[in-house]
Amino acid sequence: MDPIKQAFDKIKQEKEDEVLAEKEREFIEMLKNDVFGGKTPEETFDMFLTALKARDIEKASKYYVSWEQEKILDILEEEVVKDKSLNKVILSFTEIREKGKKVCSELKSFGCSFLYTYTINEDKTSSKKNEETKFTSFKFNEFANIWKMT
């Protein structure tokens, strides 16, 4: 292989590694400075619901992991436009919070979920039930020691 090309490739790789390392430092710094979350998944869930009930969708979206916040804000804004309220969203998350079963991994880093399974219509002529599950998941931000929704 051409020694000039090898030297160029090495310099290029070192620059790419520096850029990646800087992006990683910035990402970790952002995680460290996150204040939107609780010390438990339940606390984060309650903070999220409080923001929703106050119709503060921007704040509510901040309880999600940073890479999901913009998408969640868009979804909540669409819900407001579509239904002229957040009532369906609030009801859905309230059901999950109040009736859901908390399931967590033994490893904190794998997170927790609240699962709420309910019957949508029951066939009286058979033993079959049509069930659906609503859930929301949480991930621990180890840099800020808070739980975030995912």
Sign of CA dihedral 20, 22, 26, 29: positive
pLDDT, tens digit, for every residue of 88-130?
A: 999 999 999 999 999 998 877 789 999 998 876 656 666 666 8
Determine the pLDDT at residue 125.
Answer: 64
Percent of the chain with pLDDT over 70: 93
Pairing of strands 101-104, 129-141: unpaired
Which runs of E-coded beta strand occur in 10-111? 101-104
Q: For residue 99, how many other CB atoms are within 10 A of its CB?
A: 13
pTM above 0.75, yes or no: yes
pLDDT at 1 over 80: no
d(CA 71, CA 69): 5
